[in-house]
Amino acid sequence: MTLPRPAFPGPDHDHGRCAADAIAHAEAVCAKRSQKFTPIRRQVLQALLSSHRPLGAYEVIDELARSMPRPAPITVYRALDFLMENGLVHRIESRNAYLACAHDHDESAMVAFLICDLCGSVGEIPAAPLAKNINVAARASGFAPKMSVVEIAGTCVHCQK
């Protein structure tokens, strides 16, 4: 039996390995879907992998500008759109920011984001039962949901210590 991945990696985790695994996951997803993992898409994902905090598009641009000519915003937004469409990045609505995702779940799998108010890290947990209850309640009121995002603010396990 494999233990579930912690929602918040420990401060002492091997972040280089973490980022490398996420890039390998992205390469595999793109290969499986016959999608091109272009250099700019890779660079945008690597910028998002610089930490476990979500970054706004202009923060991604600033991160990229450290190692290459400053990309145009439209270039970064197109890369972010591609990465989101392929489940490699999530948009954190309340922060207007993006978070890299190395989890292997399909597009229909609902997740909830745990957002630490102190350190800014974001964890991801499965939320299928919650999604089912939300959809049932919405449909019972005559509403036809197409997308829901669950974001929960609080304090991560590391900041509580």
Does residue 55 lie in a domain region? yes
Burial profile 132-151: b = 16 or more Cβ within 10 angstroms, e = fewer: eeeeeeeeeeeeeeeeeeee
Query: Is there a single domain that holds both residue 120 and residue 133?
Result: yes
pLDDT at 106 over 70: no
pLDDT at 109 over 70: no
Confidence of residue 3 (pLDDT cuts 50, 70, 90): very low
Secondary structure class of 40 (helix, strand, coil): helix
Query: Is there a single domain that holds both residue 155 and residue 140?
Result: yes
Secondary structure class of 122 (helix, strand, coil): strand
pLDDT at 10 over 80: no
Confidence of residue 152 (pLDDT cuts 50, 70, 90): very high
C-alpha 60/C-alpha 99 separation (Å) is 11
Contacts of 31 (CB under 8 A, 6+ apart): 37
The boundaries of the domain holding residue 72 are: 13-103
Does residue 98 lie in a domain region? yes
pLDDT at 12 over 50: yes
Query: Is there a single domain that holds both residue 96 and residue 125?
Result: no
Query: Is there a single domain that holds both residue 96 and residue 44?
Result: yes
Predicted structure pTM score? 0.84
Query: Is there a single domain that holds both residue 154 and residue 79?
Result: no
Q: Mean pLDDT throughout 98-109?
A: 76
- Tell me the β-bridge partners of 89: 100
pLDDT at 113 over 60: yes
- Tell me the β-bridge partners of 112: 125, 150
Q: Mean pLDDT throughout 34-53?
A: 95
Summarised one tens digit per residue, pLDDT across range 26-40 is: 999 999 999 999 999
Q: What is the pLDDT of residue 34?
A: 97
Query: Is there a single domain that holds both residue 78 and residue 28?
Result: yes
Query: Is there a single domain that holds both residue 91 and residue 123?
Result: no
Tell me how many domains the chain contains: 2
Query: Is there a single domain that holds both residue 32 and residue 72?
Result: yes
Query: Is there a single domain that holds both residue 130 and residue 159?
Result: yes
- Tell me the β-bridge partners of 91: 98
Query: Is there a single domain that holds both residue 91 and residue 33?
Result: yes
